Amino acid sequence: MTRVHIYKTETGAYTGFLVEGHAEYADPGEDIVCSAISLLTINTVNAIGQFTEDQTEVEEDQTKGMIRCMLQQPPSHDTELLLRFFELGVTELAKQYKEVSCLIEQKG
C-alpha cells in the first residue's frame, strides 16, 4: 500500500508531504497506481523547484518507495496551488484504488 501524508499547519497552510510504500496493484513495471503516484509526486517536487522561489528539503529512498518533501518556509501562492493540485490528485486516486491512502495531518 502507498501511504501519502500531507502536512499542514493548524491554519491549513501546507508544510510538506511524505509518500511511502509500494502500491502492489500489479507487477513492477506494470503498476499503473504506482506510476500515477510517482508522476504526481515527482512532478510536484520538480514544479516547486522550477517555478517557485520556495526552498524545500527533499529526501528519497527508491527501495522503500519513499519521497519526503518539506517546505523550509510558509508556501508562496504558487507552491500552495501546486500542493493543492497534488492533494487533489492523490485524494482522487485514493477514492478509486484501495492500494492508496491519503492522510492529512497537522505538522509545523
**Total length of the chain:** 108
In the prediction, which pLDDT does 26 show?
A: 80
Report, as an integer, the average pLDDT of 44-64. 96
Q: Is the pTM of this model over 0.85?
A: yes
The CATH number that applies at residue 47 is 3.30.70.1490
Q: Is residue 23 over pLDDT 90?
A: no
44 vs 102, higher pLDDT: 44
Q: In what order do the strands lie in the sheet with 56-61?
A: 56-61, 66-71, 14-20, 2-8, 100-106
What is the domain count for the chain? 1
Report d(CA 61, CA 67) in Å as an integer.
7
DSSP per-residue string spanning 92-107: HHHHH-TTEEEEEEE-
In the prediction, which pLDDT does 30 show?
A: 86
Report, as an integer, the average pLDDT of 10-37. 89
Each residue's pLDDT tens digit, 69-83: 999 999 999 999 999
For residue 86, what pLDDT band results from cuts at 50, 70 and 90? very high
Q: Which domain holds residue 72?
A: 2-106
Give me the torsion for CA of 10, 13, 15, 17, rounded to 10°. 100
